[in-house]
Amino acid sequence: MLKKNTMKTIALLFTVATVFLAATSCNKNRPDCFDKKLYRQHKNDLCTDDCPGVVGCDGKLYCNECYATRQGIHVK
Residue 76 covered by a domain:
no
Query: Which pTM value belongs to this model?
Result: 0.59
At 6-19, the pLDDT tens digits run 656 655 555 555 54
Residue 75 covered by a domain:
no
Residue 36 covered by a domain:
yes
Number of domains in the chain: 1
**How many CB atoms are located within 10 Å of the residue 33 CB?**
16
pLDDT band (50, 70, 90) for residue 2: low
At 14-67, the pLDDT tens digits run 555 554 544 444 444 555 799 999 999 999 999 999 999 999 999 999 999 999
| Cβ within 8 Å of residue 50, ≥6 positions away | 63, 64
